[in-house]
Amino acid sequence: MKKGKRICDTLKAVRQLISKENGIVYKPRECNFTGDCSGTCPACEAEMKYLEQQLIQRKKSGLPLKLTGIAITLCASQPVFAQYHDSTIHKKDTLQQTYPLKTTDLSQDCTDIIKIKGIITYQDNNTPLAGTLITLLNLDTTKTNLTALTNINGEYSIIVPRNSLLEISYIGCDKQVLTAKELKTNSNITLNDSQTLLGEIKVIKKTTAPTH
């Protein structure tokens, strides 16, 4: 499976879990793109906007919002974790051993590059945000098709041009746009609640894998 398709599938899993936890009707579209997808196609963008609008309506109705940790769901979607269905995973080192941190090269053959490693967490209780999208931007802040995701522990490792811009985004949180140099200086990022979704947002950490 191509990298872009993997990113697309992971982001779809994030949206499915958040919609389920918030009682939102969400039916992901079947992706028919045949090229080297970046994982951020117009269909994905439309689904994300729909979900954010539904979260806003839920908040206006006085209902609490749930921003869900999805690490265990991502584990369950992989064949190697089939034996963990309906069981509890206790050891973080087991996850790290099965899913070693891989470096994503977003440098586009640029010669002046830097490698950045860090972790992205949620502001409320420092919960790692698995499936956070990191997008390389053009200097005018328009998006490129070069993306990376945090792993199940919220970790990332990327190679980027030294003078590049990067956008960090997760549903329900404000996006951050940083220069590569800024991110290199402080590679551990905390994402805050979205200003359009102000209210009670609860982070739920799953301990058991869902059954199929």
Which strands, in side-by-side order, build the sheet including 113-122? 104-105, 155-161, 113-122, 189-191
**pLDDT level of residue 46 (50, 70, 90 thresholds):** confident
Q: Which percentage of the chain shows pLDDT scores above 70?
A: 69
- Does 189 or 73 have the greater pLDDT score? 189
How many CA atoms lie within 13 Å of 172's alpha carbon, on the beta-carbon side?
A: 30
The domains of the chain are located at 3-205
Per-residue pLDDT of 2-15, as tens digits, reads 666 777 777 887 88
CATH architecture of residue range(s) 3-205: Sandwich (2.60)
SS3 185: helix
Please, what is the Cα angle at 134 between 132 and 136, to 5 degrees? 170
In this prediction, residue 155 carries a pLDDT of: 92
Per-residue pLDDT of 126-184, as tens digits, reads 888 888 899 999 988 888 889 998 888 889 999 999 999 999 998 878 899 999 999 99
In this prediction, residue 196 carries a pLDDT of: 63
- Does 212 or 7 have the greater pLDDT score? 7
Query: Has residue 80 got a pLDDT over 50?
Result: no
CA neighbor of 133 nearest in space, from 142, 124, 123, 143: 143
Query: Has residue 77 got a pLDDT over 60?
Result: no
What is the DSSP track for 59-81? HHTTPPEEEEE-HHHHHHTSGGG
Average pLDDT, the chain: 74
